[in-house]
Amino acid sequence: MYVQGCRSRCRGALVYGLMCLWLASAFAGETSTSPPRTTSAVWSVHATPARLVNGAPVFFQVTAPAALQSLTSTWLGHALTFDHAQGKNWFALAGISLETQPGSVPLVLEGITESGARVTFRRNFVIARAKYPTVQLTVSKQFTEPNPEQQEKIKQDQDIKHKTFSQTSPGLEWSGGFLAPVNAPVSDVFGTRRVFNGQTKSVHQGLDYRVPPATPVAAVNRGIVLLAQPLYFEGDCVVLDHGQGLLTLYLHLSKIHVKAGDQVERGQVIGLSGATGRATGPHLHVAVRWQGVYLDPAALLRLPLPESTVVRSPSAH
Ligand SMILES: [Zn+2]
């Protein structure tokens, strides 16, 4: 129902101008030899990038054996939200958690044809292990040993974040490739194991850019503002919802230019960088979250993705 609802809402508004080019390039290297289980026609399933690793996003393109009214799927325990592209073609952005072990994992597809028949297909993909670094860091004690008042604030923030992350839109917002939020060098990559003051261990769940304070920060893609407010660890923080379960987070800002509910375009300035919250100095921390899983923003920025011309209607949100 999830996908079907979106499809009917988006039908006629979703046009992929680059579809021919996209399919030609995407399926040129198709190597699937698995026979379809319940249909005689052929499924085509393609994942980008070609090498899948833990912590990375993955873009699935599916050509079904028949015209479908909906396409759903399970992938690593997640329900995927496929959107209809054109004809028998469907697509979804998904991810692979950092904790995912190397090995072969199935993408299990289930489509409902226009006549109401159920068609299924299963294709396995190999997940390789990505290597991530370890660093030692020193931060102010209030962030490793917060007092009761600070702990209360942290608890309140957790409730706010839980609420924010549970209200993602089923509608499609992103269009085309994701762009870097600032034009600056990267100071810390995703996946770094961090040891704070020799004690608290965590994994860096975003990408840090070395930027001076008050540098304009741009939305990496089209989206809806889910949250725009100060939080204890994150500092002044903006969360954007790009649809298909994909969010981006912008932390430690000195100024926020948007408010919850705003629609933003790719490249639109959403705030200014800073050093608010748990920051060792001025920088921009950008995170990518998909269905509760943090993914490598750098890998998302590298993904070639098709442009769409989704015409937004106020009723869609
Ligand atoms: Zn960071």
Backbone torsions φ then ψ of 272, nearest 5 degrees: -115, 145
Per-residue pLDDT, 199: 64
| Integer angstrom CA distances of residue 260 from 153, 193, 226, 284, 292 | 20, 32, 5, 20, 20
Q: How far is the CA of 285 from the centre of ligand 1 (A)?
A: 4
Instruction: Identify the sign of the CA torsion 47, 177, 295, 54.
Output: positive
Q: How far is the CA of 79 from the centre of ligand 1 (A)?
A: 28
Q: How far is the CA of 126 from the centre of ligand 1 (A)?
A: 29
Q: Which two tokens stand for residue 133?
A: 């670094």
pLDDT 10s digits, 169-194: 778 999 999 999 999 999 999 999 87
Which of 1-5, 31-35, 164-168 is the least confident region?
Answer: 1-5
pLDDT bucket at 200, cuts 50 / 70 / 90: low
Q: What CATH number belongs to 134-302?
A: 2.70.70.10
**Mean pLDDT value across residues 100-125:** 96
d(CA 67, CA 38): 15
Per-residue pLDDT, 133: 86
What DSSP letter does each residue of the chain carry, written as one string? Answer: -HHHHHHHHHTTT---TTHHHHHHHHHTT----PPPSS-SS--EEEEESSSEETT-EEEEEEE-SS-EEEEEEEETTEEEE-EEEETTEEEEEEE--TTPPSEEEEEEEEEEETTS-EEEEEEEEEEEPPP--EEEE---GGGTS--HHHHHHHHHHHHHHHHHHT---SS----S----SSSS-EEE-TT-EEEETTTEEEE--SEEE---TT-EEE-SSSEEEEEEEEETTTEEEEEEE-STTEEEEEEEEEEE---TT-EE-TT-EEEEEB--SS-SSSBEEEEEEETTEEE-HHHHHH-------PPP-GGG-
Given a cut of 70, whether residue 11 has pLDDT beyond it is no
Given a cut of 90, whether residue 55 has pLDDT beyond it is yes
Per-residue pLDDT, 194: 77
High-pLDDT (> 90) share of the chain, %: 64
Per-residue pLDDT, 72: 96
Domain assignments of the chain as residue spans, ordered by start: 44-128, 134-302
pLDDT 10s digits, 263-282: 999 999 999 999 999 888 99
**Contact status, residue 289 vs residue 295, Cβ threshold 8 Å:** yes
Given a cut of 60, whether residue 87 has pLDDT beyond it is yes
Per-residue pLDDT, 287: 98
d(CA 251, CA 240): 12
Given a cut of 60, whether residue 130 has pLDDT beyond it is yes
d(CA 82, CA 70): 8
Given a cut of 80, whether residue 313 has pLDDT beyond it is no
**Contact status, residue 205 vs residue 297, Cβ threshold 8 Å:** no
pLDDT 10s digits, 209-253: 999 999 999 999 999 999 999 999 899 999 999 999 999 999 999
Q: How far is the CA of 286 from the centre of ligand 1 (A)?
A: 7
pLDDT bucket at 7, cuts 50 / 70 / 90: very low
Given a cut of 70, whether residue 88 has pLDDT beyond it is yes
Q: How far is the CA of 278 from the centre of ligand 1 (A)?
A: 9
Per-residue pLDDT, 309: 54
Given a cut of 90, whether residue 19 has pLDDT beyond it is no
Q: How far is the CA of 207 from the centre of ligand 1 (A)?
A: 5
Q: How far is the CA of 239 from the centre of ligand 1 (A)?
A: 15
Given a cut of 90, whether residue 258 has pLDDT beyond it is yes
Q: What architecture is the 44-128 domain classified under in CATH?
A: Sandwich (2.60)
Per-residue pLDDT, 124: 97
- Other CB atoms within a 10 A radius of the CB of residue 238 amount to 26
Please give the mean pLDDT across all residues of the chain. 84
Per-residue pLDDT, 77: 96
High-pLDDT (> 70) share of the chain, %: 82
For strand 134-137 and strand 193-196, is the pairing parallel, antiparallel, or unpaired?
A: parallel
Report the predicted TM-score, pTM, of the whole model to 2 decimal places. 0.81
Per-residue pLDDT, 170: 72
Backbone conformation region of residue 177, classed left if phi is above 0, alpha if psi is from -120 to 50, else beta: beta
pLDDT bucket at 138, cuts 50 / 70 / 90: confident
| Integer angstrom CA distances of residue 201 from 154, 176, 190, 204, 295 | 18, 36, 15, 10, 19
Q: How far is the CA of 188 from the centre of ligand 1 (A)?
A: 7
Q: How far is the CA of 246 from the centre of ligand 1 (A)?
A: 18
